[in-house]
Amino acid sequence: MSTTATAAGSIEGIRSAIAKGETTAKAVTEIYQARIAGEDPKIHAFLSVDREYALAQAVRIDDLAAKGDSLPKLAGVPFGIKDVLTLEGFAATAGSKILEGYRPPYTATAVKKLADAGAIFLGKLNCDEFAMGSSNENSAYGPVHNPHALDRVPGGSSGGSAAAVAAGMAVATLGTDTGGSIRQPASFCGVVGVLPTYGRVSRYGLIAFASSLDRIGPFGATVRDAATVLGVIAGHDVMDATSSTLPVPDYTESLDRGVKGMKLGVPREYFAEGLDAEVRTAIEAGIEKLRAAGAEIRPISLPHTRYAIPTYYVIATAEASANLARFDGVRYGLRAPQSDTLAAMYRRTRDLGFGAEVKRRILLGTYVLSHGYYDAYYKKAQQVRRLLAEDFLAAFREVDAILTPTAPTPAFKIGEKSDDPVAMYLADIYTVTASLAGICGVSVPCGKSREGLPIGMQILGRHFDEATIFRVGQALESA
Amino acid sequence: MPETERVSPADVRRVAELANLDLTADEEGRMRRDLNAILDYVAQLGELDTAQVEPMAQVSEVLAVSGEPVSEKQSVLREDEVRPCLDRAQVMASAPETDGVFFKVPKVIER
């Protein structure tokens, strides 16, 4: 493989190097497998790897290239897949003991679309159990370490997906985002992470956490790579009743059009108390770059922002308590041995199989849905969810996209917040709003702290207007 | 009632039973502490008057394409027709205990 293609490691770089015969998919795959062997013992991004499967995929691409056939969009590009997404016959633990040993009999639509586009699957990626967490410390298989500082968290819940790209162990990865689980780890690890509009990517084959919030999206080293992957995985799917029939544009085509004349909103609520001074400085510098590139920067207000975290934790846990009822030891996964009755088997299986954060959220969700509390908590949260969504609809009548910090701080230390759930939940304070409203967003690297920790800017856009946030992200990246 | 007593030990046991979770005495205390801390935080939603606000259950209710809110629910029903599904043998292969046709479980009713 030519050194330029290795160094670039971009999707188009790899695809065209294979097409031109400068390298082979097999050689590219082996380079990434060697990196995993070298780096991952320190980082622990992968929960499972299958060398032979990846090499067999690579050989099929090399056969196409040898015949001179045109190569699909992701030909020979090494990917990792978050372990909450299914690939037929491969472990899918969701970071939980309750699914240890489970081999799903079907493949997630987004994963199948990657495979059809020629992607190579290196393995499945570590995450917080059932995608519940902001630090990856809730994985039943041990935490992921941030490649930029091994004593720090990579963010969560898609910590393995972000760390794998940051450490050069995959060119791109899939993650999932329910309250910030793609954007926040992208920010902590210095990579690009995309929250597509709700309905843009089919959720079929995603092990559900909170169905009205869950989304699948890509990580990449650059905005262009992330946009390319979204273009492949987006689109309607009969297997997900909430997936949209709107056509999928070519996101890469409009990428370089710049931000001249674009109106970009800066919501004051995202720069209030609790924002780390270094993060503020970095984001303000990023905003100035976009202004210099020709964007019109407008101060805006999203007045209900401070209610987003409590709203999110009521709605997400309520939905989780229902979704996780299916893990009962009957159809798949763990079953506690030697139970005398069905009821005892359910309880013992769930006690053995679920970790503390998952139990906490199931209990909270069950509580807020229970008789006497439904109106006070669940219905109230659904009402505030509409107010939060309307804040964005009003703002998007004035501006084309919104700029905020992705997270209030750079990556924190492993263990720093693990004993205080509310402090941990506040790591998602800038990301849960877009989750509740269903709009799209992307986190793009925007400088570093004095200690060298990455800082991400979050760019939020209208429903189904990913093209605009990618343009802004590209302008920031190349500024 | 003091703020820290929103959730009593009896509440935790009742909710755990509803959720089919077994909690040790240790876990019960810890969960009560955490649930109270979270619900104290959630209580600030009470500051908002939402009497006139419709609950929002799905993103499709507020879809804004090109900045214009779509007023009606974009609800499209699919045809009610039989479609292929997973093969029984493949599904049963994942089950902890099966006779090949049904899932087997411990006895449901105590005699």
Place B76 in a pLDDT band, splitting at 50, 70 and 90.
low
Contacts with B92 (C-beta within 8 Å, 6 or more apart), sequence order: B98, B100, B101, B103
Query: Over the stretch A355-372, which tens digit does the pLDDT of each residue have?
Result: 999 999 999 999 999 988
Dihedral pair phi/psi, residue A198, rounded to 5°: -60, 125
- Whether A181 sits among the annotated catalytic residues: the reply is yes
Tell me what percent of the residues of chain A surpass a pLDDT of 70. 98
- Fold classified for A1-479: Amidase signature (AS) enzymes (3.90.1300)
Place A6 in a pLDDT band, splitting at 50, 70 and 90.
very low
User: What's the pLDDT at A321?
Assistant: 98
Amino acid at A41: P
User: What's the pLDDT at A379?
Assistant: 97
Tell which phi-psi region holds residue A447, choosing left (phi > 0), alpha (psi between -120 and 50) or beta: left
Across the range A414-441, mean pLDDT stands at 93
- Distance in Å, alpha carbon of B50 to nearest chain A alpha carbon: 6
Asked if pLDDT for residue A98 goes beyond 90, the answer is: yes
Q: Which of A241, A38, A43 is nearest to A142 (CA)?
A: A43
Place of tokens 């209208």: A462
Which among B36, B56, B86 is the top mutation candidate for probing chain A, defined by the most A β-carbons within 10 Å of its own β-carbon? B56
Quote the pTM value.
0.95
Torsion of CA A347, B37, A437, A429, to 10 degrees: -120
User: What's the pLDDT at B78?
Assistant: 73
Asked if pLDDT for residue A166 goes beyond 50, the answer is: yes
Sheet holding A215-220, edge to edge: A46-49, A120-125, A78-82, A172-177, A215-220, A192-195, A440-448, A454-461, A401-405, A263-267, A296-300
Which chain A residues contact residue B12 at CB under 8 A?
A: 363
- Interchain contact, A350 vs B21, CB within 8 Å: yes
- Interchain contact, B53 vs A386, CB within 8 Å: yes
Q: How far is the C-alpha of A311 from the C-alpha of B53, rounded, in Å?
A: 14
The nearest alpha carbon in chain A to B89 belongs to A105
Nearest to B15 among A350, A363, A464 (CB): A363
- Distance in Å, alpha carbon of A21 to nearest chain B alpha carbon: 40
Q: Which of A459, A456, A437 is nearest to A447 (CA)?
A: A456
Place A4 in a pLDDT band, splitting at 50, 70 and 90.
very low
Place A284 in a pLDDT band, splitting at 50, 70 and 90.
very high
Across the range A165-189, mean pLDDT stands at 98
- Mean pLDDT is lowest, of A50-59, A145-154, B54-63, for B54-63
C-alpha separations of A317 from A2, A46, A99, A354, B45 in Å: 49, 27, 20, 15, 16
- Whether A254 sits among the annotated catalytic residues: the reply is no
Which chain B residues contact residue A464 at CB under 8 A?
A: 65
User: What's the pLDDT at A371?
Assistant: 87
C-alpha separations of A296 from A71, A283, A406 in Å: 41, 16, 21
Across the range B13-32, mean pLDDT stands at 94
Contacts with A334 (C-beta within 8 Å, 6 or more apart), sequence order: A97, A98, A99, A100, A101, A349, A352, A353, B96
Asked if pLDDT for residue B72 goes beyond 50, the answer is: no
Across the range B75-101, mean pLDDT stands at 88
Which chain B residues contact residue A383 at CB under 8 A?
A: 48, 50, 53-56
Exposure string of B3-27, with b = 16+ CB inside 10 Å and e = fewer, is eeebbeeebbeebbebbbbbbeeeb
Across the range A68-90, mean pLDDT stands at 97
User: What's the pLDDT at B68?
Assistant: 47
- Interchain contact, B35 vs A364, CB within 8 Å: yes
Q: Is the bond into B8 cis (omega within 30 degrees of 0)? A: no
B61 vs A45, which has greater pLDDT? A45
Across the range A133-139, mean pLDDT stands at 97
- Distance in Å, alpha carbon of A227 to nearest chain B alpha carbon: 19
The nearest alpha carbon in chain B to A377 belongs to B42
Catalytic residue among A10, A134, A139, A157: A157
Q: How far is the C-alpha of A39 from the C-alpha of A409, rounded, in Å?
A: 26
Place A53 in a pLDDT band, splitting at 50, 70 and 90.
very high
Query: Over the stretch B34-68, which tens digit does the pLDDT of each residue have?
Result: 999 999 999 999 999 999 999 999 998 888 554 44
User: What's the pLDDT at B75?
Assistant: 54
- Interchain contact, A382 vs B56, CB within 8 Å: yes
Which chain B residues contact residue A364 at CB under 8 A?
A: 35, 38-39
Query: Over the stretch A219-257, which tens digit does the pLDDT of each residue have?
Result: 999 999 999 999 999 999 999 999 999 999 999 999 999
User: What's the pLDDT at B80?
Assistant: 87
- Interchain contact, B23 vs A383, CB within 8 Å: no
Tell me what percent of the residues of chain A surpass a pLDDT of 90. 94
Which chain B residues contact residue A465 at CB under 8 A?
A: 66
Asked if pLDDT for residue B2 goes beyond 70, the answer is: no
Which chain A residues contact residue B105 at CB under 8 A?
A: 330, 342, 345
- Whether A82 sits among the annotated catalytic residues: the reply is yes
Place A421 in a pLDDT band, splitting at 50, 70 and 90.
confident
Across the range B92-101, mean pLDDT stands at 94
- Interchain contact, B55 vs A379, CB within 8 Å: yes
Nearest to B22 among A331, A347, A379 (CB): A347
Q: Mean of the per-residue pLDDT values for chain A?
A: 96
Chain Cα centroid distance, residue A207:
14
Nearest to B15 among A106, A343, A367 (CB): A367
User: What's the pLDDT at A9?
Assistant: 87
Q: Of all helices (H) and strands (E), which one includes residue B78?
A: none
C-alpha separations of A128 from A82, A153, A156, A387 in Å: 10, 12, 7, 29
Nearest to A362 among B14, B19, B44 (CB): B19
Contact A113, A5 (CB under 8 A): no
Q: Which of B102, B33, B43 is nearest to A368 (CA)?
A: B43
User: What's the pLDDT at B79?
Assistant: 80
| Whether B75 contacts chain A with CB within 8 A | no
